[in-house]
Structure 1
Amino acid sequence: MSTKLENIVLIDDSGADNYYHQMIIEKANTCRTVTAYNLASKALNNIEDTIKKKQKLPELIFLDINMPIIDGWDFLKRYEEIVPQDLRQTVIIILSTSVNPSDHDRAAAHPSVAAYCSKPLSATKLQDIVAKHFS
């Protein structure tokens, strides 16, 4: 894989999924840093801190939908509230096991969501996403 990103973020309440997806990303040598959050609130806090410090936001976020406290949809709402329009360069991919057609439709209609991807993430899916959004 020729494109190398600086930072990919995983947001999923499943530690096992985060671990597996992190291994896939690291094995593919896709980015310099993979950061995993099991709570969307922690990811949002990190994004706020990154903006305050005028640092670069992650290029790619894989976001689960079904999470406790702050689900994927709430994350997206808050993301849009804290990230100024001119800084919204991050590609957000929904990464979920949901087979609910309304989740697919909602993701497709959401302005901040680049794509919907079914779990688990594979090397092929990762390559396709990077090729489509970063080449």
Structure 2
Amino acid sequence: MTLISPAKTVCVIDDDKIYIYGLKKLISIKQLSPNLMEFYNGKEAIDFLTDPENLNSLPDIIFLDINMPVMDGWGFMESFVKIKPQLGKKITIYMVSSSINDDDIERAKSISDITDYVIKPISPDTLVELFRLAA
């Protein structure tokens, strides 16, 4: 398996450090991206995205958890929709959750800026496919 070209910058927004560690390992093993950033809640990520100094290091793909402290995935999406026009870059967002609640799935699908809803844990094959779809 080789890097899907061009290399994507990946952002993981999740408060579960063990999950982030596992996802980073999987991305590394599958050689999907050498560039990975992590945030433990939506507010940290929004602060990063809105900082003009970070304009050249915006992610291509975001893996977004729903349930987090400070600002959850829904709050992140509300803020993201407002700042998206200023970013000047297409960012693919996958909402990733262990929730199989139909309300969560339908709510995510109703937000046009969310590309897909993915149930945790993400299998290696699914991860590779998500990167292909975002290419």
Q: Same fold (TM over 0.5)?
A: yes
* Number of residue-to-residue matches in the alignment: 132
For 2:129, the aligned partner's letter is D
Alpha-carbon spacing, 1:48–1:86, altered in 2? closer, same or farther (3 Å): closer
Is the counterpart of residue 48 in structure 1 residue 36 in structure 2?
A: no
Percent identity of paired positions between Structure 1 and Structure 2: 27
CA displacement at 1:6 relative to structure 2: 3.2
For 1:101, the aligned partner's letter is D
CA displacement at 1:108 relative to structure 2: 1.0
Q: Which moved more, 1:121-130 or 1:76-85?
A: 76-85
CA displacement at 1:79 relative to structure 2: 1.1
Q: What is residue 33 of structure 1 aligned with on the other side?
A: 35
User: Which consecutive residues of structure 2, in runs of 5 or more, have no partner in the other structure?
Assistant: none
TM-score normalised per structure 2:
0.89
For 1:46, the aligned partner's letter is F
Counterpart CA distance in 1 for 2:13 and 2:77 is: 12
Alpha-carbon spacing, 1:34–1:86, altered in 2? closer, same or farther (3 Å): closer
Runs of 4+ with deviation above 6 angstroms: none
Is the counterpart of residue 16 in structure 1 residue 18 in structure 2?
A: yes
Q: Alignment RMSD, CA only?
A: 1.6
For 1:31, the aligned partner's letter is S
Counterpart CA distance in 1 for 2:38 and 2:105 is: 23
**1:1-135 equivalence runs, <5 A:** 1-4=2-5, 5-49=7-51, 52-53=52-53, 54-84=55-85, 87-134=88-135
Q: Which moved more, 1:70-79 or 1:4-13?
A: 4-13
For 1:20, the aligned partner's letter is G
What is the CA deviation profile of residues 63-86 of structure 1, one whole-angstrom value per residue up to 9, with x for unaligned ones?
000112211010011111222167
For 2:94, the aligned partner's letter is I
Q: Which moved more, 1:71-80 or 1:125-134?
A: 125-134
Counterpart CA distance in 2 for 1:113 and 1:48 is: 19
Counterpart CA distance in 2 for 1:32 and 1:123 is: 16
TM-score normalised per structure 1:
0.89
CA displacement at 1:122 relative to structure 2: 2.3
